[in-house]
Structure 1
Amino acid sequence: MQNWDFCRSVMSTQLLVTLGTEYGATPSAMLRNSGLSEASLSNPETLVEAQSELSVIRNLLRELPPIDGLGLIAGKRYQLSAYGIWGFAIASSPTARKAIELAQTYQQLTFAFASFNIDISGDRTRILFDDRDVPEDVRLFCLEREMAAAAVIIGELLGSHCSAPRVYFRHPAPHYAKCYQQHFGHAVAFNADCNALEFSSALLDLPRSVGNESTANLLAKQCGELLASRSARRGLSGKVRDLLLRQRPMQMDMEAVAASLHMTSRTLRRKLEAEGSSFRQLSDEIRVTLAEELLRGTPLSIEQIAERLSYADASSFSQAFKRMTKQTPGAFRRAEQRR
């Protein structure tokens, strides 16, 4: 069972709000109690907390009259291009096996609440969806949405090689069971022992004409970097990073940061330790990130950069930079200029 409470891109919320407005809801009603504004919705860099997206889903279900298979209707809109880097990495995979391995590894870059796992057993492969952690009031919608979206992705991956996957749901057949067959294009089994999409394992290693191993590997690396970046913005550590980045001139002052967060430096230290972090570690990370930007993109001297980052002198800066990056500031700058 996997925790789904992670930040996700704004694209999913955009799709949900668009769906709601097409059926008569207003954007403001769709965003009520979500902490999101219409302006933030139009900003592609907005990150949405899982609880905020759940609020939008609840608004969707509350604002619209009962619509049979609304989750299925929503899921059909989640084409690979909606997932950003994750979707492009999947689309570039040379085989379906590589694609589903990558999909599972970086599923925190999706919009799923029902976490999924891959089970390859003999001649059948199943994508299993675990919806037990999803709040009950939105569970059916989320499961319908995520399995419908996964079926869309499987179709994009396997193309003409694949007939519609077999589909299994743990819940009883709803009164609109025919909608499931229409959406999935295959007989659907209800009251099953799992939620799953099933297809032939023989399709896993067929070469994909649009796949490219090098591109897929590069995008997989970017998926890892994006996931790390999003994780860094969560919790108290993320708030400390944001405060350090906003300080001008750059002052790595723990007392000032603690005061901005309305706590003592002792409390800040204790809470950061509970997250497996420290103020020193965070300030070092910020400094090296800014140092790399300044070395790469400005003509500032090593001495000027050291002063901007509040080091005692250029020697202290050079030693710290080498400790964190395994190269001197000068070597880093020369390597960047050769690219």
Structure 2
Amino acid sequence: MRFGTRRNLVAPPDDRCYPMHGTAACVMALTQTGASASELLHGTGIDESELMSHSRKVSYAQMQTILRNAVALSPGPEAPFEAGRRVSLASLGVWGMGMSSARTYRELADFVVRYQWVLGPMVAFELHEAGGSAWWTYTPLLVSNPHSTEYQMSMEFALCMGYRMSEIAFGPGFKALAISLRYDAPAHASLYEHFFGCPVHFGQPHDGFHFDPALLEHRLPHANAVSMAMVRAGCEVLLKKLSLRGSIEARVRELLAAQHAEKPAPDIDDIAGELKMNPRTLRRRLQEAGTSFRGLRSNVLKDQAIAYLRDTDLTQEEIAARLGFSDGSNFRQAFRRWTSRQPGDFRPKRAAGAPPDDDPEHL
């Protein structure tokens, strides 16, 4: 049994349409580990004063920039764990109110799954029940490579945040039976058992945590049926607005991101064909949603380029070929246009004595 309706587990559109409070909660929690809000927001176009605005919106492209900044600024491996545990229900706005108003953990889970997009989450949540077991699965939306530093940091933050939310809503009786993670055990693997207090299994098919299914029927201490009804009504309105803006862009981004290595990025005719619509219709629908095919394709290529630079030893010429560029020069020119930085700026720092990057302009 799986709770809720499974949605596309890809980053939704890049235009600013998600409420700011979820991002603000994450940024403020991260500042408690040493980074400043202005440093975390660098390159996003978001001013620190906008974090507290109820009217401002945020995009997934901006969230990705915040995640990259958090990785660069992290004072140590414990930082994402500590930050995740410091997110409060109150800081999550209407979504946090819904969690605290649920009558049972099962109702809380149903609320979280149904209305997760209202929060603009870093990960997509699903709850499963089978064979006398229950477990949450987490699917990161900002990065797809489980072996990357960004993926692991976002998972550490999201797991600690989700686990802490369950503890707050349920009470001290909530405990995980085991943590499952897709990636191999990092050097700081001992921190997982320290923060979660249960066995941790790496190299698994999914990310998430297992718990006793009997907890699903446990009544929660702060249940409030009136508040829950009001919150659900408000979330339905927000969800409808997001659905109207987000569905076509999310599908286009998913198709663009699914391109195979060493093949040119699909053009609008290719994507329109996959969606069984006329290219002119696709352009119009994207324009109505406040975005464009060119903009979405650039964002996908930028994200893939940064992932290759940070997580592989491929040269810039090889990355250019994988992304469909005719040569490295064209790739570097596009990369500078996307990020205002050189590709080499995203390479991990090399140890002393290591050979330099062999690409031009080290660009």
Do the structures match in fold with TM over 0.5? yes
2:223 matched residue in structure 1: 211
Counterpart-to-counterpart distance in 1, 2:137 and 2:282:
39
Counterpart-to-counterpart distance in 2, 1:18 and 1:133:
19
**Is 2:78 aligned against 1:69?**
yes
**Is 2:126 aligned against 1:117?**
yes
2:10 matched residue in structure 1: 3
Pick one of 129, 149, 161 that aligns with 2:173. Answer: 161
The structural deviation recorded for 1:95 is: 0.9
The structural deviation recorded for 1:76 is: 0.9
Q: How does 1:212-231 map to 2 (within 5 A)?
A: 212-231=224-243
Task: Determine helix, strand or coil for the equivalent of 1:209.
Answer: coil
1:306 matched residue in structure 2: none
Pick one of 24, 38, 58 that aligns with 1:28. Answer: 38
Task: Determine helix, strand or coil for the equivalent of 2:126.
Answer: strand
Q: Is the Cα–Cα contact under 8 Å of residues 9 and 48 in structure 1 kept in the other structure?
A: yes
1:182 matched residue in structure 2: 194
2:64 matched residue in structure 1: 54
Counterpart-to-counterpart distance in 1, 2:226 and 2:27:
36
Amino acid at match of 1:101: D
Pick one of 16, 35, 39 that aligns with 2:49. Answer: 39
List gaps (5 residues or longer) in structure 2: 1-7, 250-278, 290-363
Pair 116,234 (structure 1): closer, same or farther in 2 beyond 3 Å: closer
Pair 192,221 (structure 1): closer, same or farther in 2 beyond 3 Å: same
Counterpart-to-counterpart distance in 2, 1:23 and 1:273:
42
Amino acid at match of 1:2: L
2:98 matched residue in structure 1: 89
**Is 2:179 aligned against 1:145?**
no
Q: Is the Cα–Cα contact under 8 Å of residues 25 and 92 in structure 2 kept in the other structure?
A: no
Counterpart-to-counterpart distance in 2, 1:154 and 1:19:
17
Counterpart-to-counterpart distance in 2, 1:209 and 1:167:
26
Pair 276,20 (structure 1): closer, same or farther in 2 beyond 3 Å: closer
Q: Is the Cα–Cα contact under 8 Å of residues 118 and 239 in structure 2 kept in the other structure?
A: yes
Pair 225,175 (structure 1): closer, same or farther in 2 beyond 3 Å: same
The structural deviation recorded for 1:93 is: 1.0
Query: Comparing both structures, which one devotes a greater share of its residues to helix?
Result: 1
Q: Is the Cα–Cα contact under 8 Å of residues 119 and 125 in structure 1 kept in the other structure?
A: yes
The structural deviation recorded for 1:25 is: 3.8
Percent identity between the two aligned chains: 21
Pair 60,85 (structure 1): closer, same or farther in 2 beyond 3 Å: same
The structural deviation recorded for 1:24 is: 4.6
The structural deviation recorded for 1:151 is: 0.6
Q: Per-residue CA shift, 1:282-319, capped at 9, x if unaligned?
A: xxxxxxxxxxxxxxxxxxxxxxxxxxxxxxxxxxxxxx
Greater C-alpha Rg: 1
Q: Per-residue CA shift, 1:256-277, capped at 9, x if unaligned?
A: xxxxxxxxxxx99874456889
- How many correspondences in the alignment? 247
Counterpart-to-counterpart distance in 2, 1:229 and 1:203:
34
Counterpart-to-counterpart distance in 1, 2:103 and 2:94:
16
The structural deviation recorded for 1:107 is: 1.0
The structural deviation recorded for 1:127 is: 0.6
Q: Is the Cα–Cα contact under 8 Å of residues 170 and 190 in structure 1 kept in the other structure?
A: yes
User: Pairwise CA RMSD of aligned residues?
Assistant: 3.1
Q: Per-residue CA shift, 1:235-260, capped at 9, x if unaligned?
A: 999xxxxxxxxxxxxxxxxxxxxxxx
Tell me which of the two structures has the higher relative contact order, counting C-alpha pairs closer than 8 angstroms and 6 or more residues apart.
2
Task: Determine helix, strand or coil for the equivalent of 1:34.
Answer: coil
The structural deviation recorded for 1:36 is: 0.7
Which segment drifts farther, 148-157 or 56-65? Answer: 56-65
The structural deviation recorded for 1:63 is: 3.0
Task: Determine helix, strand or coil for the equivalent of 1:84.
Answer: helix
Amino acid at match of 1:38: E
Q: Is the Cα–Cα contact under 8 Å of residues 104 and 116 in structure 1 kept in the other structure?
A: yes
Counterpart-to-counterpart distance in 1, 2:110 and 2:132:
17
The structural deviation recorded for 1:186 is: 1.6
Amino acid at match of 2:50: S
Amino acid at match of 1:40: E
The structural deviation recorded for 1:165 is: 4.1
Counterpart-to-counterpart distance in 1, 2:288 and 2:48:
36
Q: Is the Cα–Cα contact under 8 Å of residues 104 and 217 in structure 2 kept in the other structure?
A: yes
